[in-house]
Amino acid sequence: MSDLVQRVRDVLPSVRADLEDLVRIESVWADPQRRPEVQRSAEAVSKLLSDAGFGDVRIVAEGGAPAVIARHPAPDGAPTVLLYAHHDVQPEGDATAWRSAPFEPTERDGRLYGRGTADDKAGIATHLAAFRAHGGNPPVGVTVFVEGEEESGSPSLSRLLAAHKDALAADVIVIADSDNWSTDTPSLTVSLRGLADCVVEVATLDHGLHSGMWGGVVPDALTVLVRLLASLHDDDGNVAVKGLHESVAADVDYTPERVRADTGLLDGVREIGSGSVAQRLWAKPAITVIGIDTTPIGTSSNTLIPSARAKVSMRVAPGGDAAEHLAALTRHLEQHAPWGARVTVTPGDVGQPYAIDASGPVYDAAREAFREAWGADAVDTGVGGSIPFIAAFAGAFPDAKILVTGVEDPDTQAHSINESLHLGVLERAATAEALLLDKLGSHRRR
Ligand code: BES
Ligand code: MN
Ligand code: MN
C-alpha cells in the first residue's frame, strides 16, 4: 500500500471527530433564526483549516452567508487546485421522524447519521483528510473554498467570485458535492441539471363563501389550482410544458429494480415518464410541486377557498437555459387555469445546468486516482440534482478543469430524514483526493 493511502487511514479518526463537531452546528442558512449558527460553522471550518496548516485563512461574505477561503501556495511551476464544499445544510424537517437526533452524529452499521454528515460536511472532511494526509504540504497549491449558502441557490456566489477572484483562481476545481454510483464504485459526475422555480397563486373570489350556498356555481381556488398543476404532466407522467430542452444521457444501466430499491417506491406505484431511467433523471426536464399554501384540514370549514398557491420546481436538462425554462413554465401556468381563474406567477430561483467534457490529462489523473483508491473504475454519470454555481465558476475561470466528485451514495438520503454518510466511502473519497493532489503535482502549469 502506498504511503499516502496509509496516511489517509491514519488521519481519518481525527477527521471524523472534526466532521462530528461540524454536524453538531445547525448551519441552516435558509432559517433566519439559525444564521448565527452558520457564522459559528464558518468559524469552526476556518479554525480546522488553520490548524491543518493553511497559512492564509479568511471568512468572507458579500451580503450573503459567510464562506471560508483557505490558501496554501503552489510550489514553483505547480498547478493550483481549488477544493470546494459547502458548510450550510438543508433544514432537518420533522426531527421526531429521525431515528437519532438530526444534529447529533450517530454511527449505525458503518454509516454516520445526521443532517449534513454527507451533504456536504463530508466534502469539507474529504478536503481536510487529503490535506492532512500530505502533512499540510502537498505538491500543488491548494485553495479550499467552503460556501455557506449552496442549499439556498448560492445567491451571493458571483459577488464572492468577483471580490476574491485572485484568491480563488485555480487550474483545477474539485467540487466534492455529488454522488457515487454505489458504495464500491465511484462516480465522476459529468452533467448536472439546472433548476428554476416559481410560486403560482390562483384566485377565484375576493372572500370565502358558504360552500353549500355557492358550490356548484362558483369555483373554489384549490380545485382550480389542482387542475392547473395536473396540466403540467400528461397521463404517462411526461412533462407537458412546451418548449423545454432535452439532451442525451450517458449510457448506463439503471434497472427498474434499482430505482425501486434506491427510492423506496411503494408497491404498486409505477415510474413516470418515458425513456431510459438515466435519460429521465439526467437529460430530461422534470417538474415537481414542492409545497402548497391552502387551508389546512384541521381548520377547514364548508367554505369555498378564495385563493391558494403552490411552489413549482423544475429541473432543466444540460444545454437548456434555466431563465428561458422559467418563462416557458410561467406561460404554461398563465394559460392553463380553468374557468378564467386569475393566475399570478412569482418567479423564484434559477440555476443553470452544466455538462463537462471529461477528457484530457486532468480527468485521466482523476480516473487513475479513483481506480487506486476504490479498486474500481469510476462511472461517468449525470445527476438529476443541481449545483448552479458550477456554471458561475466555469464562467469566472474558463480555463480551469472542473471535476465533480462527492461523498454521497445511493443510501445517503440527502435532504431527507436519516441522512447518512457511508464511512467507507469517506475513506475512499479522501484517498482518491489525496492521490489526485499527488498526481496533479507532477503536471506543470501551462
Ligand atoms: N449536493 C447537492 C447537489 C446534488 C444533488 C448532487 C444530487 C448530486 C446528486 C446540492 O447540495 C443540492 O442539494 N443542490 C440543490 C440546489 C438548489 C438548492 C439551488 C438541489 O439540487 O436542489
Ligand atoms: Mn450539496
Ligand atoms: Mn443539498
CA–CA gap between residue 343 and residue 334 (Å, rounded): 6
The verdict on residue 92 lying in a domain is: yes
Q: 30: closest CA among 115, 100, 96, 113?
A: 115
Q: Which amino acid is at 157?
A: L
**What is the CA(197)–ligand 1 centre distance, in A?**
14
Question: Which ligand 1 atom is at minimum distance from the Cα of 154?
Answer: 19
Q: In sequence order, what are the residues at sequence separation of 6 or more whose Cβ sits closer than 8 angstroms to the Cβ of residue 426? A: 12, 15, 16, 19, 122, 125, 126, 129, 407
Cell numbers for 97, please give them.
421522524
Q: How far is CA 275 from CA 262, 271, 284, 327, 345, in A?
A: 19, 11, 9, 25, 30
Q: Are strands 187-192 and 379-383 parallel, antiparallel or unpaired?
A: parallel
Which CATH number goes with the domain that contains 319? 3.30.70.360
Same domain, 236 and 321: yes
Same domain, 242 and 228: yes
Which protein residue has the closest C-alpha to ligand 1 atom 15?
Answer: 386
Same domain, 39 and 156: yes
Residue with cell 467570485: 161
Question: Which ligand 1 atom is at minimum distance from the Cα of 189?
Answer: 8
The verdict on residue 43 lying in a domain is: yes
Q: What is the pLDDT along the chain (446 residues), one digit of tens a residue?
A: 689 999 999 999 999 999 999 999 999 999 999 999 999 999 999 999 999 999 999 999 999 999 999 999 999 999 999 999 999 999 999 999 999 999 999 999 999 999 999 999 999 999 999 999 999 999 999 999 999 999 998 999 999 999 999 999 999 999 999 999 999 999 999 999 999 999 999 999 999 999 999 999 999 999 999 999 999 999 999 999 999 999 999 888 889 899 999 899 999 999 999 999 999 999 999 999 999 999 999 999 999 999 999 999 999 999 999 999 999 999 999 999 999 999 999 999 999 999 999 999 999 999 999 999 999 999 999 999 999 889 988 999 999 999 999 999 999 999 999 999 999 999 999 999 999 999 999 887 75
The verdict on residue 232 lying in a domain is: yes
Same domain, 181 and 219: no
Residues with CB under 6 A from ligand 1: 119-120, 150-151, 153, 177-179, 195, 349, 351, 383, 385-388
Which protein residue has the closest C-alpha to ligand 1 atom 4?
Answer: 385
Last residue of a domain, one of 351, 366, 397: 351
Which protein residue has the closest C-alpha to ligand 1 atom 13?
Answer: 151
The verdict on residue 276 lying in a domain is: no
The verdict on residue 113 lying in a domain is: yes
Q: Identify the domain containing residue 202 by its residue range.
A: 194-246+285-351
Same domain, 6 and 119: yes
Same domain, 441 and 306: no
Same domain, 402 and 415: yes
Q: Active site residue: 20, 37, 88, 151, which one?
A: 88
The verdict on residue 273 lying in a domain is: no
Last residue of a domain, one of 299, 323, 351: 351
Q: What letter does residue 95 receive in the DSSP assignment?
A: G
pLDDT, position 141: 98
Q: How far is CA 285 from CA 112, 234, 328, 404, in A?
A: 33, 14, 12, 21
Q: Active site residue: 18, 20, 149, 150, which one?
A: 150
Question: Which ligand 1 atom is at minimum distance from the Cα of 388?
Answer: 19
Question: Residues in the chain, how many?
Answer: 446
Tens-digit pLDDT profile for residues 207-264: 999 999 999 999 999 999 999 999 999 999 999 999 999 999 988 888 989 999 989 9
Tally of structural domains, the chain: 2
Cell numbers for 346, please give them.
412569482
Q: Are strands 172-178 and 80-86 parallel, antiparallel or unpaired?
A: parallel
- The string of DSSP letters for 214-282 reads HTTTS--HHHHHHHHHHTTB-TTS-B--TT------------HHHHHHHHTPPTTPPP-SSS-HHIIII
| 3-state SS class at 25 | coil
Same domain, 342 and 418: no
Same domain, 382 and 426: yes
Q: Is 88 a catalytic residue?
A: yes
The verdict on residue 259 lying in a domain is: no
Cell numbers for 310, please give them.
403552490
**What is the CA(446)–ligand 3 centre distance, in A?**
34
Same domain, 185 and 212: no
CA–CA gap between residue 329 and residue 322 (Å, rounded): 10
The verdict on residue 314 lying in a domain is: yes
Q: Is 150 a catalytic residue?
A: yes
CA–CA gap between residue 143 and residue 56 (Å, rounded): 9
Cell numbers for 240, please give them.
407537458
Which CATH number goes with the domain that contains 369? 3.40.630.10
Which protein residue has the closest C-alpha to ligand 1 atom 17?
Answer: 153
Same domain, 395 and 335: no
Q: What angle is formed at CA 256 by the lines to CA 254 and CA 257, rounded to 5 degrees?
A: 100
Buried b (16+ CB within 10 A) or exposed e, 61-92: bbebbbbbbbbbebeeebbbbbbbbbbbbbeb
Q: What letter does residue 125 receive in the DSSP assignment?
A: H
CA–CA gap between residue 158 and residue 165 (Å, rounded): 10
Q: Are strands 141-147 and 80-86 parallel, antiparallel or unpaired?
A: parallel
Q: Are 388 and 150 in contact (CB under 8 A)?
A: no
Same domain, 153 and 43: yes
Q: Are 194 and 108 in contact (CB under 8 A)?
A: no
pTM of the model: 0.92
CA–CA gap between residue 61 and residue 157 (Å, rounded): 9
Q: Which amino acid is at 311?
A: K
The four Cα atoms 217, 221, 223, 224 give a dihedral, to 10 degrees, of: 90
Last residue of a domain, one of 351, 371, 400: 351
